[in-house]
């Protein structure tokens, strides 16, 4: 029976024709396991996951393996991007039991959803000391049949241990100068001074930590923080993790030098990094940062924008290499011979030197990942652009990586913020328009008539799964950024609506936040994780949006909720700063105020427009901007802020207490520390 055919998840649809009798996550599957008295095999992955594709090809498409699975298990397939709550709960169990995690995640459960055996990828035959997937299936089935009491005892113990892990952090006081200084010191210890970034291989782009470093420098003037941020951004921009032809970042680098990426491209990475590079340009005027921000924004629009106006989740790492074989990175890598075919001998030699393409290769089978030179020497810019354009046009003729077209609310919220700000900084109204269209889609499809946010949609149809905390936090963040850029107060109202749901449904009495609403499906435990992973945690995303909304409106309830949520940053920031970067960035905003900037002026007034753009360029951590006619009702910040001598004016405030207004752009630039 093909139970996945009606799914909105491209990942589930990839498995719809497997010989495995897959069930979607739901009570019917667990009831079937109870009726048949067999365990549940839960397989969790996502569309752009390389090893998920490998295991599917090796095992789930194998008729013998599928028959065994169907006979001895009820098999459930979950897209972790649609159900991050299911993924989080069972990944916590996997990591606790094995010390590591990853996808595909393979978990064996009782009919009550209690886990008793775990793993990630299993090969089809024993390999490097790892049991084969058939061996695992047989071993679990034998244990279920012959040692049921032992299985039940293990499952019960795991559930009890998970239940005891609930966090109590929240309401313990806000992080202050001491905690943020300790966090910076911790990051300095882990910083890779030679190659940029933090830690060793594999190396992930530290977008949220970089935002903290930029904000810390803006607030304190700490040059070391800015240097770590700038050097890391430059190393990534010149490395193979950045697409030197088409823009955009791959998921991570397999080495510490940023040379060879894992080639999947995720919406959340590119949205976060687009914003980081735009903020780096705002702080330093770096031409490289400007170029990367704009190219990444253009990549988002060109490669990930859907027909409905939202942004797709990901591009696969794999594609056809031209021989009918799927290979990782095939779309992106080059050999010297391929350069000669496209460019001719002379330009191919130039391109090979410039992009680091060698006969030996930096990747597999003599292919190279394109990089930029690090020597800073003079190059023929016109020739570089000609070569890039021709290589990009030739690459467009290659078989393209697959695209996961589902719209994830949280990640679209991040994209909205990035595109709105990048468009405003670099005079690209088209990017602001794309951000607005994505926001319209979230309101129209993900909110619709339900008054509660849906996690995903596809082809203009809302998915069945409820949004989690990161969706509410990140979408509110996107709407608040859009309100500041456009001067449209409707986005402030929508953000407030979402954040009121956060306070009503996701907050605990002590100020801590849960990842799921209080009326969401009950799993073996209610997930709650304040630490950042690939994107801001729901906890810190919500804290940041609550603080910005309070700055816009003066709401003490929202500010208090933000401060109580930031108690976890006080506890964790000095200990694990790499994993709570967005919380640290939000704490920087709290310590700075954050600044509230009201720009009042008649509609269409050029002076008001220039003051507004200057306000948006403020590096003050977490500053919010409102613009419009005095007392227009669009923004509470504009109330009681008159024109000055008939001229448009800017008011810079903290907690609605304002300094003297200014009508001069230069004075405003100096007051806000805008880069000259």
Q: What is the pLDDT of residue 158?
A: 81
DSSP label at 56?
I
- Burial state string for 630-642 with b = 16 or more CB within 10 A and e = fewer than 16: beeebbbbbeebe
| Tokens encoding 514 | 């849960």
- Domain ranges within the chain, ordered by starting residue: 10-163, 177-317+403-592, 332-395, 595-672
Count Cα neighbours of 2 within 13 Å in the Cβ-side half-sphere: 9
Q: What is the pLDDT of residue 326?
A: 82
pLDDT at 1 exceeding the cut of 80: no
Check whether domain 177-317+403-592 has CATH 3.90.105.10, yes or no: no
DSSP string, 224-268: HHHHHHHHHHHHHHHSTTB-TTT--B-SEESSTTS-SEE--EEHH
Please check whether the two domains, 10-163 and 177-317+403-592, share a CATH topology.
no
d(CA 443, CA 420): 17
d(CA 143, CA 136): 11
pLDDT band at 168 (very low <50, low <70, confident <90, very high): low
DSSP label at 379?
-
Q: What is the pLDDT of residue 553?
A: 97
Q: What is the pLDDT of residue 164?
A: 65
pLDDT at 171 exceeding the cut of 60: no
d(CA 532, CA 268): 12
pLDDT at 165 exceeding the cut of 80: no
| Tokens encoding 653 | 């405030």
Q: What is the pLDDT of residue 162?
A: 75
pLDDT at 50 exceeding the cut of 90: no
* Cα of 271 vs its chain's centroid, Å: 7
* Mean pLDDT value of segment 643-657: 96
* Cα of 171 vs its chain's centroid, Å: 27
pLDDT band at 312 (very low <50, low <70, confident <90, very high): very high
Instruction: Centre a 10 Å sphere on the Cβ of residue 580 and count the other Cβ atoms it contains.
Output: 30
Please check whether residue 642 is in contact with residue 585, taking contact to mean a CB–CB distance below 8 angstroms.
no
d(CA 380, CA 378): 7
Label each residue of 111-142 as H, E or C: CCCCEEEEECCCCCCCECCECCHHHHHHHHHH
Exposed, middle or buried: residue 243 (CB in 10 Å: 0-12, 13-18, 19+)?
buried
Please check whether residue 120 is in contact with residue 102, taking contact to mean a CB–CB distance below 8 angstroms.
yes
Q: What is the pLDDT of residue 169?
A: 61
Out of 2-11, 287-296, 616-625, least confident range:
2-11
pLDDT at 57 exceeding the cut of 60: yes
Instruction: Indicate the average pLDDT of the chain.
Output: 93
Please check whether residue 623 is in contact with residue 633, taking contact to mean a CB–CB distance below 8 angstroms.
no
∠ Cα 235 241 247 (to 5°): 100
* Mean pLDDT value of segment 315-323: 85
d(CA 287, CA 306): 30
* Mean pLDDT value of segment 153-182: 79
pLDDT at 388 exceeding the cut of 80: yes
Exposed, middle or buried: residue 164 (CB in 10 Å: 0-12, 13-18, 19+)?
exposed
Please check whether residue 671 is in contact with residue 618, taking contact to mean a CB–CB distance below 8 angstroms.
no
Secondary structure element (H or E) that encloses residue 394, with its range? helix 381-395
DSSP label at 670?
H
* Cα of 436 vs its chain's centroid, Å: 19
The SS3 of residue 330 is coil
pLDDT at 163 exceeding the cut of 80: no
pLDDT tens digits, one per residue of 411-460: 999 999 999 999 999 999 999 999 999 999 999 999 977 789 999 999 99
pLDDT band at 65 (very low <50, low <70, confident <90, very high): very high
* Mean pLDDT value of segment 330-346: 96
The backbone torsions φ and ψ at residue 597, rounded to the nearest 5 degrees and listed phi first, read -120, 115
Exposed, middle or buried: residue 43 (CB in 10 Å: 0-12, 13-18, 19+)?
buried
Q: What is the pLDDT of residue 160?
A: 82
* Cα of 66 vs its chain's centroid, Å: 34
d(CA 451, CA 313): 24
Q: What is the pLDDT of residue 6?
A: 84
Question: 10-163: CATH homologous superfamily?
Answer: Glutaredoxin (3.40.30.10)
Q: What is the pLDDT of residue 102?
A: 85
Count Cα neighbours of 565 within 13 Å in the Cβ-side half-sphere: 38
Closest CA to 662 of 603, 604, 611: 611
CA distances in angstroms from 171 to 103, 212, 543, 547, listed in the order given = 35, 22, 12, 15
CA distances in angstroms from 305 to 246, 272, 379, 438, listed in the order given = 15, 16, 34, 9
* Mean pLDDT value of segment 103-127: 91
Strand partners, 261: 253
Percentage, residues of the chain above pLDDT 90: 83
The sign one gets for the Cα dihedral 519, 525, 529, 535 is negative
pLDDT band at 170 (very low <50, low <70, confident <90, very high): low
């Amino acid at each position: 029976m093909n139970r996945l055919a009606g799914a909105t998840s491209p990942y589930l649809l990839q498995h719809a024709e497997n010989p495995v009798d897959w069930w979607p996550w739901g009570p019917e599957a667990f009831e079937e396991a109870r009726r048949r008295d067999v365990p549940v095999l839960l397989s969790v992955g996502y569309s752009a996951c390389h090893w998920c594709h490998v295991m599917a090809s090796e095992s789930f498409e194998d008729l013998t393996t599928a028959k065994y699975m169907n006979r001895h298990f009820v098999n459930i397939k979950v897209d972790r991007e649609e159900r991050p709550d299911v993924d989080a709960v069972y990944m916590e169990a996997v990591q606790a039991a094995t010390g590591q995690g990853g996808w595909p995640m393979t978990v064996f459960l009782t009919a009550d959803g209690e886990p008793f055996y775990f793993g990630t990828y299993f090969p089809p035959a024993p390999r490097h000391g790892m049991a084969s997937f058939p061996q695992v299936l047989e071993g679990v089935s034998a244990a279920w049949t012959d040692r049921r009491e032992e299985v039940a005892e293990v499952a019960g113990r795991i559930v009890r241990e998970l239940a005891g892990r609930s966090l109590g952090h929240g309401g313990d006081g806000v992080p202050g100068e001491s905690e943020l200084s300790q966090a910076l010191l911790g990051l300095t210890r882990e910083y890779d001074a030679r190659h940029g970034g933090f830690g060793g291989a594999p190396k992930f782009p530290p977008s949220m930590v970089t935002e903290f470093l930029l904000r810390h420098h803006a607030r304190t003037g700490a040059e070391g923080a800015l240097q770590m941020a700038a050097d890391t951004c430059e190393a990534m921009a010149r490395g193979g993790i950045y697409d030197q032809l088409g823009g955009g970042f791959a998921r991570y680098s397999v080495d510490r030098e940023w040379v060879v990426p894992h080639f999947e491209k995720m919406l959340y990475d590119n949205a976060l990094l687009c914003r980081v590079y735009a903020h780096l340009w705002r702080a330093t005027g770096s031409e490289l940062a400007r170029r990367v921000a704009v190219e990444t924004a253009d990549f988002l629009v060109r490669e990930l924008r859907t027909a409905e106006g939202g942004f797709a989740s990901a591009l696969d790492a794999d594609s056809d290499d031209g021989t009918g074989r799927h290979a990782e990175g095939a779309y992106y890598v080059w050999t010297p011979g391929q350069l000669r075919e496209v460019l001719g001998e002379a330009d191919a030699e130039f391109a090979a030197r410039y992009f680091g393409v060698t006969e030996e290769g930096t990747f597999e089978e003599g292919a190279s990942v394109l990089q930029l030179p690090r020597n800073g020497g003079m190059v023929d810019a016109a020739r570089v652009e000609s070569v890039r354009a021709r290589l990009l046009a030739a690459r467009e003729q290659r078989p393209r990586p697959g695209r996961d077209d589902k719209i994830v609310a949280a990640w679209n919220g991040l994209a909205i913020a990035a595109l709105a700000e990048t468009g405003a900084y670099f005079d690209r109204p088209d990017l602001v328009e794309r951000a607005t269209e994505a926001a319209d889609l979230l309101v129209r499809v993900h909110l619709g008539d339900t008054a509660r946010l849906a996690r995903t949609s596809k082809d203009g149809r809302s998915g069945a799964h409820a949004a989690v905390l990161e969706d509410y936090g990140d979408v509110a963040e996107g709407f608040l950024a859009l309100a500041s850029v456009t001067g449209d107060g409707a986005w402030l109202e929508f953000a407030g609506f979402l954040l009121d749901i956060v306070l009503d449904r996701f907050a605990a009495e002590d100020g801590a936040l849960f990842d799921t609403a209080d009326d969401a499906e009950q799993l073996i435990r209610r997930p709650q994780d304040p630490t950042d992973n690939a994107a801001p945690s729901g906890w810190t995303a919500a804290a940041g949006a609550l603080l910005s909304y309070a700055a816009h409106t003066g709401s003490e309830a929202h500010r208090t909720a933000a401060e109580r949520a930031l108690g976890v940053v006080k506890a964790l920031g000095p200990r694990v700063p790499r994993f709570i970067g967005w919380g640290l960035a939000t704490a920087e905003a709290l310590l700075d105020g954050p600044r509230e900037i009201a720009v009042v002026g008649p509609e269409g007034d050029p002076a008001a427009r220039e003051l507004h753009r200057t306000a948006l360029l403020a590096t003050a951590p977490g500053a919010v901007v409102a613009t419009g006619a005095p007392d227009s009702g669009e923004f509470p910040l504009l109330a009681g802020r008159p024109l000055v001598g008939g001229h448009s004016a800017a008011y810079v405030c903290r907690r609605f207490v304002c300094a003297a207004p200014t009508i001069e752009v230069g004075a405003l630039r100096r007051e806000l520390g805008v880069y000259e």
